[in-house]
């Protein structure tokens, strides 16, 4: 039974939510391994839109086991709120939803620290969502963090909380925060478990797992456009450390890629479209954050970025999303390389200053004037669209296995005979 990781290949918001939701029926377990409630995965089911921030998208499918791994930073209040909202939609959590006892908790002082740090940074601010996720990871690395498992031990929780509040000069808030977290404990204890053990035992029994990544490769703490990144490991490797499983248990990575490029917040973006062109793409693609409502910066497809993501995640299979958003363009551009200091390069530099200086080198191709919205058969795509997809495959070195032509589950093309077909045991034909 397959174990595959779903990875964003750009700066997040690639449409991972829809892809995970679409593939969930083929898997027994859906596991989140990093990030926090800064993620916003949007899934449309028969006209109803669900936005999931912390809980794996698989929860929308009855009977599927959903796991939040140790690599996720959990704000208990946000988790309870999201659970309550889903329960109101009659989503059942009992005996199929689990949170790792090793996952670090976001505390109220993390939120404050996040917001204050962004203010102090001024021009150089990262553009975080201000939800305390970065500071929670800082405490994890400083070995002063509080974990979900601490909710099971109120005395230990009290002791460490007092120390932490003293350090941040906020000890008078103990009387407020401690009872609040005891209350969260009451609600969350039934779900807290050793998630690594649970998952490894499930795999030993032959169960399949879909590892659900949040954000994207270019936002990864190590491999992204540092310092304009998120504070966790959004790449494939994060699935191992963020869930406590060995790398050889994973069969492969499916990269989710938008047919163009977007990014939220600050940081370099070589193929960005500015002014009216950027705004037109933003409006066509409804590129506004699911979590924050922030307008996303938009630009042409950047093959250098995606090739880099293919390399560091060993992506063999790609799911191309939002293809329909490119309908109606006379000409479409693909960034195939960069010019840096008068020289052509085809790799993504580590040095942020160099990335800022990179000028995109474009290949221009004819667009398609007709609609691809909702097409489910590859052969019914216009010739120019098929050419565009073929070029994406060639330039990135990965096979295109899935194509999304609209937000709904059924607005999808499953390309037959692909590696993904094999992983899903689909009948090819
Ligand atoms: P994620 O964080 O990677 O899951 O991405 P988001 O959920 O933030 O953004 C994807 C948005 O695009 C959501 O509103 C989806 O409903 C929508 N979407 C996903 N696939 C398609 C597609 O193929 N076409 C169109 N038009 N919208 C899509």
Q: How does pLDDT run across 71-115, given as a tens digit for each residue? A: 999 999 999 999 999 999 899 999 999 999 999 999 999 998 888
Where are the chain's structural domains? 3-102+194-428, 108-191
The residue whose two tokens read 């390309």 is 415
- Here the tokens at position 147 are 């974990």
Burial 357-392 (b: 16+ CB within 10 A, else e): ebebbbeeeebbeeebeebeeeeebbebbeebbebb
Residue 426's pLDDT is what? 59
Residue 289 CA: nearest ligand 1 atom is: 8
Determine the pLDDT at residue 117: 75
- Does residue 41 carry a catalytic annotation? yes
pLDDT of residue 48: 80
Which pLDDT value is given to residue 288? 92
CA angle 42, 47, 48 (to 5 degrees): 55
Dist CA 44 CA 55 (whole Å): 16
Rounded to whole angstroms, how far apart are CA atoms 216 and 224? Answer: 8
Q: Which of the residues 37, 41, 53, 223 is marked catalytic?
A: 41
Q: Stretch 4-9: mean pLDDT, rounded?
A: 97
Nearest CA to ligand 1 atom 10: 15
List residues bridging with 65 in a β-sheet.
29
CA-20 nearest atom, ligand 1 = 4
Q: How far is the CA of 40 from the centre of ligand 1 (A)?
A: 10
pLDDT, tens only, 140-187: 999 999 999 999 999 999 999 999 999 888 888 999 999 999 999 999
Report how far ligand 1's centroid is from the alpha carbon of 407 (Å): 6
Nearest CA to ligand 1 atom 26: 406
- Judge if the beta carbon of residue 287 lies within 6 A of ligand 1: no
Q: What is the average per-residue pLDDT within 39-63?
A: 85
Active site residue 13: yes
Q: Is 320 exposed, middle or buried (0-12, 13-18, 19+ CB in 10 A)?
A: buried
**pTM, rounded to two decimals:** 0.93
Rounded distance, CA 171 to CA 306, Å?
Answer: 47
Report residue 357 as tokens: 């200086």
Determine if ligand 1 sits within 6 Å of the CB of residue 21: no
Atom of ligand 1 nearest to the CA of 214: 2
SS3 5: strand
Tell me, in angstroms, the distance from the centre of ligand 1 to residue 408's CA.
9
d(CA 120, CA 130): 13
Q: Residue 291: its pLDDT value, please?
A: 66
238 Cβ contact list (under 8 Å, min separation 6): 33, 34, 71, 213, 220, 232
* Cα–Cα separations (whole angstroms), residue 303 to 51, 190, 228, 338: 29, 45, 20, 10
- Which of 2.40.420.20, 1.10.300.10, 3.40.640.10, 1.10.760.10 would CATH assign to domain 108-191? 1.10.300.10
CATH architecture of the domain with residue range 3-102+194-428: 3-Layer(aba) Sandwich (3.40)
Q: What is the per-residue pLDDT for 116?
A: 82
Q: What is the pLDDT of residues 184-207, one digit of tens each?
A: 999 999 999 999 999 999 999 999
Nearest to 321 by CA among 17, 49, 48: 17
């Amino acid at each position: 039974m397959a174990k595959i990781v779903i990875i964003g290949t750009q700066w997040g918001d690639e449409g991972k939510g829809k892809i995970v939701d679409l593939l969930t029926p083929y898997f027994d377990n859906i596991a989140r391994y990093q990030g926090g409630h800064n993620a916003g995965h949007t899934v449309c089911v028969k006209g109803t839109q669900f936005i999931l921030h912390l809980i794996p998208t698989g929860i929308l499918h009855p009977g599927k086991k959903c796991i939040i791994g140790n690599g996720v930073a959990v704000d208990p209040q946000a988790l309870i709120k999201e659970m309550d909202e889903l329960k109101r939609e009659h989503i059942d959590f009992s005996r199929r939803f689990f949170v790792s006892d090793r996952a670090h908790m976001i505390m109220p002082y993390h939120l404050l620290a996040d917001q204050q740090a962004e203010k102090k940074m001024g021009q150089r601010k990262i553009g975080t969502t201000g939800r305390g996720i970065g500071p929670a990871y800082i405490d994890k690395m400083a070995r002063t963090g509080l974990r979900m498992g601490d909710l099971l031990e109120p005395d230990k929780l009290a002791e460490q909380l007092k120390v932490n509040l003293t350090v941040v000069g906020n000890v008078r808030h103990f009387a407020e925060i401690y009872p609040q977290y005891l209350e969260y404990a009451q609600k969350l204890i039934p779900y807290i478990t050793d998630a690594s053990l649970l998952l490894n035992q499930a795999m030993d029994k032959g169960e399949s797992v879909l590892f659900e990544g949040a954000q994207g490769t270019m936002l990864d703490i190590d491999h992204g456009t540092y310092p304009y990144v998120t504070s966790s490991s959004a790449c494939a490797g994060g699935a191992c450390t963020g869930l406590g499983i060995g790398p050889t248990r994973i069969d492969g990575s499916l990269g989710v890629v938008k047919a163009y490029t977007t990014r939220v917040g600050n940081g370099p973006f070589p193929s960005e479209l500015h002014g009216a062109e950027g705004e037109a793409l933003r409006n066509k693609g409804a590129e506004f954050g699911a979590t924050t409502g922030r307008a996303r910066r938009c630009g042409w497809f950047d093959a250098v970025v995606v090739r880099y993501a293919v390399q560091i995640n060993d992506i063999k299979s790609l799911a191309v999303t939002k293809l329909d958003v490119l309908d109606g363009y006379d000409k479409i551009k693909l960034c195939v390389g960069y010019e840096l200091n008068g020289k052509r390069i085809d790799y993504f530099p580590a040095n942020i200053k160099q990335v800022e200086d990179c000028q995109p080198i474009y290949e221009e191709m004819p667009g398609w004037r007709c609609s691809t919205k909702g097409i489910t058969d590859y052969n019914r795509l216009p010739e120019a669209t098929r050419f565009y997809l073929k070029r994406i495959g060639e330039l990135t070195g990965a096979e295109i296995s899935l194509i999304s032509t609209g937000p709904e589950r059924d607005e999808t093309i499953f390309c037959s005979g692909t590696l993904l077909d094999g992983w899903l045991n689909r009948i090819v034909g």
